[in-house]
Amino acid sequence: MKTILIVEDDESTRTFLTLAIEQETPYQVLYATTSVRALEIVKQIKPHLFILDYLLPDMNGIALYDHLHALEGLEAVPAIILTAANLERLQEELQQRHLLSLAKPFDLDTLLETIAFALTVFRQIAEIDR
């Protein structure tokens, strides 16, 4: 099963992401509203992509990615960080980890292009770095 894990605490953003992905891609969406729940989910299912909100209630999205990426079998799973924060401030951290980012608000076309890019190019880069 092709799966994307969304970790987003804002219900409207999560709903938009879920509908867009399930209607426009062959991927099924799983979601969590906290980092703790995301870590529980990946014990059972290995997603093909993570979409992580930067400002989660219990951990920031980059720190969550570090935890997920350290788990066996998830080392090459690409991620997209969603943020309303200043992206310039985060660029170094994102680049070091080969993370893509989307600034909120974003549109459907940008979302789908970023997902496609993450699932092809960034997955290949992550596999090479292993």
Digit-coded pLDDT (tens) for 99-110: 899 999 999 999
Residue 119's nearest CA partner among 44, 52, 27 is: 27
Average pLDDT on 41-52 reads 96
Domain residue limits, the chain: 3-129
CB of 75 within 8 A of CB of 126? yes
Name the CATH architecture for the domain at 3-129.
3-Layer(aba) Sandwich (3.40)
Residues 107-118: what's their mean pLDDT? 95
The yes-or-no verdict on residue 121 having pLDDT over 80 is no
* Mean pLDDT, the chain, whole residue set: 91
Q: Dump pLDDT digits (tens) for 54-94.
A: 999 999 999 999 999 999 999 889 999 998 877 677 888 88
Q: What is the reported pLDDT for 91?
A: 83
The pLDDT, as a whole number, for residue 128 is 52
Cα(47)–Cα(128) distance, integer angstroms: 19
pTM of the model: 0.91
Nearest-angstrom CA–CA distance, 130 and 120: 16
